[in-house]
Structure 1
Amino acid sequence: MITLDELEDVIDVVLANYNGEPHTGLGGRTPLEAMQFLLDKGEGLLRSLPVSQRSTLCLLQEAAVVPVCGNVRRSVRPHVNFAYSRYSSRLLSGMTGLIGQKLRIYYNVKDIRNVRAFLMNGEELGTLTAARPWCLTPHSLRTRQEIHKLIRQGKLRVREGEDPVGAWFAWKQKQARTHSADAASLARALSDRAMAHSALANPSEAVDVPLAAHSSNVPTTTVSSGSGFPAPVLTKIFTY
């Protein structure tokens, strides 16, 4: 028997070996060397995508439909719940007219600190950021799910205000000394963290905006791109 994670690791190794071996059909070059050769010459059908757009390919990301939660009377700002955490932005936090409606979010399973949100009619709301402390350290969906599972089982304790991902890494490092499964899990997490450097993130948190200041100006069904709402906060690239 082989697990799905082990199968993914085997496929990664097979593809890496194939792309690193010389091929007679490529003039003795490896597939990677042949690709680099075409890129250097500026010929062929290979086109590179600007770094700033590489995390915006929603068709290549996972998607989920989530409701907008919030309560004006209780001063709970609009947000969405996903993978055990709240997600919001400066823009969404003032749109009380969207409470109860659904959004489609796209996320990178290798780094779920941020998601991109769209109305069901396709209009974009921009980047939503996970509430603290889940917005601090890059981590995958699988890692967050495992963290919550370990907390429920009483195996992992996270103090208030502590970074749960950092606590998980420390716990995994201790377990990896005697458990091969934990060592493999830690290696995958480190690999996911290394791959997260290309993802765009919005480091800003939602601003405490009084709900009444926006509720009367927000439509109840759709949001026009030409409305008076502020544009989504610019994102920047983090490297690790």
Structure 2
Amino acid sequence: MDCRMVVMVPSPHGGYEPRKIRRIWIIVIIDVRSRAVLGYHISLRRECSALDVLITIKNALSKWAPRTLTFCEDGYAEGAALPSAHSEVYLSACWNEFSVDGALANVCPRVEEPLLHIVGAKVIKPQDPTSYSSRRSKDDRPFIESFFRVLASGTMHRLSPSTGSSHEDKKGRDPEKIAAEVQFQLDYAEELLDVTIANYNATPHTGLGYRSPLAQMDFLSSKTKNRIRHADPELVKRMAGSRKVCTLLGGEYTGKRPYFNFENAKYTSEWLVQRPDLLGKKLWLQLDDETDARWATVSDSNGLIYGTVHVQPPWHRSPHTLYMRQAIRALATKRLLFLTGNRDPVQALIEYAEIHANKKLPVHPAYLQARRIMMTSTQALDEMKEPNFSVPDVMGEINRQAMPEELTKVSGASKKTKGTSPPPEPKPKSASQSAPLPKMRMAKTW
């Protein structure tokens, strides 16, 4: 995106300091017939990777939810949504062809295989000379290019920190300086893009007879409702997770608990100790959630799942991605971070990015991912919490119901007088309880 933005980093002297970041990338999946945006993903890396493409596909197959806006209260227009939230019919709806440009992140086997097995779509790439998507002119991809032009002209190009589409658009301005002065943060850009894309799906389109993309999709699906294929939700949930063949090491002959070496970390579990028959075998390890690399699923080549394993210290404390783990290890190799068994590597990365002396360089993308994951996990924990209630009052009510009436009156009187009432007389102990224990005897030594 042609815009400069900052993140507010806590300062060691108090308050917050603006730190500039690199330009963000946005990946969009659009339906050609209805012009509807199925899903999108904002990448914070320097370059887009195959994982970013898989996350975009996963978002297109998952249910979309509107964000909690901070810049206004009514940013979403009436009926604004992505197809997965517009109707249950479009949730996990598959497509037959997936046309991409010639970037290696789009045409690599890591993207083609999940698309074929989970979505059932064939990748149409320009590298194939017999494909209709091979580059013949500068306007071979008119729909997605037109959408990006509308997206840029309606959002980022209208902001003061915008860099424009060419060097002439700056007109003597310094976008980085303006972004630091106005403190245009990454969170604002994410909210702005989400609102703009959702409103685009509900806006009448000139190429559709002034129907909105969602209305056009409803019109087309009403004729072919029974022909819509849906992907398996469990496979969609795991499609962006890394998968690798690993050998089970350790065992009683080595004096170590059985473990796997997976992405520069050790994974183990209690059930591996009870399966010595798996030692030395090659098994598949896959992350169920690409944003939390602390857990992995173990299966064989036939798809039989044995169980889950967890990562060993020091990576077991905070949720993180494999990209964050690689970045942390790279900083540790350069002696910029010092990892120990008692220190959280994610917290060490956050402290390094926030206290680093060189404030002219952009913030590390792994730090931005750590902030996003921490925020997401915190929100998930808040949603899992039960409604607020007073635990002592509830337990006191239960105890009052279980106590005799006399004791309840005594406790009530003590609360009123704020004094200490004499404890009730203890009941006489039974003979078995009052019998003294025999004397202790020392063990004999031979």
TM-score by length of 2: 0.35
Partner of 1:10: 26
**After superposition, what is the alpha-carbon deviation per residue over 1:21-48, rounded to whole angstroms, capped at 9, x for unaligned?**
34226999896xx99xxxxxxxxx899x
Which consecutive residues of structure 2, in runs of 5 or more, have no partner in the other structure?
3-20, 28-40, 43-150, 152-192, 219-227, 386-446
RMSD: 4.0
Answer yes or no: is the 8 Å Cα contact 1:92–1:125 preserved in 2: no
Give 1:102's aligned residue.
282
Residues 1:172 and 2:188 aligned together: no
Residue of structure 2 aligned with 1:150, choices 331, 334, 344: 331
Q: 1:238 to 1:169 in 2, by over 3 A?
A: farther
Q: Distance between the aligned counterparts of 2:333 and 2:252, measured in 1? A: 32
Residue equivalent to 2:432 = none
CA distance in 2, matches of 1:189, 1:158: 17
Of 235, 255, 264 in structure 2, the residue corresponding to residue 84 of structure 1 is: 264
Match of 2:319? 138
Alpha-carbon offset, residue 130 of structure 1: 0.2
User: When you count strand as a share of all residues, which structure comes out higher?
Assistant: 1
- In the other structure, the counterpart of 2:18 is none
Which residue identity lines up with residue 338 of structure 2 in the other structure?
R
Indicate if the aligned counterparts of 1:79 and 1:93 stay in contact, CA closer than 8 A.
no
Q: How many residues align?
A: 185
**1:66 and 2:277 matched:** no
Structure number with greater CO (CA < 8 Å, separation at least 6) is 1
Would the alpha carbon gap of residues 158 and 59 (structure 1) be closer, same or farther in structure 2, given more than 3 Å must change?
closer
Q: CA deviation at 1:59?
A: 3.7
- The one-letter code of the counterpart of 2:369 is R
Using a 3 Å threshold, how does the CA distance of structure 1 residues 64 and 197 change in structure 2: closer, same or farther? farther
Offset of 1:185 from its aligned partner? 3.9
> Distance in 2 between the 1:170 and 1:137 partners?
14
- Contact 2:240/2:290, CA 8 A, preserved across alignment: no
SS at match of 2:294: strand
Distance 1:81 1:6, change over 3 A: same
CA contact (8 A) 2:295 2:311 kept: yes
Preserved CA contact (<8 Å) 2:248 2:278: yes
What secondary structure sits across from 1:115 in the alignment?
strand
- Structure 2 residue corresponding to 1:120, chosen from 301, 307, 311: 301
- SS in structure 2 of the partner of residue 182 of structure 1: coil
Q: Which amino acid aligns with 1:9?
A: W
Q: Deviations over 1:121-165 (max 9, x none)?
A: 221112210012211101111111111111111111234411121
Q: Deviations over 1:67-116 (max 9, x none)?
A: 11113223212111112211111212321111110111111332211111
Asked if the contact 2:297–2:307 (Cα under 8 Å) also holds between the matched residues in 1, the reply is yes
Q: Given the superposition, is the C-alpha separation of residues 77 and 184 from structure 1 closer, same or farther in structure 2, using an over 3 Å criterion?
A: closer
Deviation at 1:193, TM superposition (A): 3.7
Percent identity between matched residues is 21
Q: Which amino acid aligns with 2:303?
A: G
* Contact 2:346/2:370 (<8 A) preserved: no
TM-score (norm 1): 0.61
How many angstroms apart in 2 are the aligned matches of 1:28 and 1:158?
Answer: 57
Specify every segment of 5 or more residues in structure 1 that has no aligned partner in the other structure, as ranges.
36-44, 200-236
What amino acid sits opposite 1:24 in the alignment? P
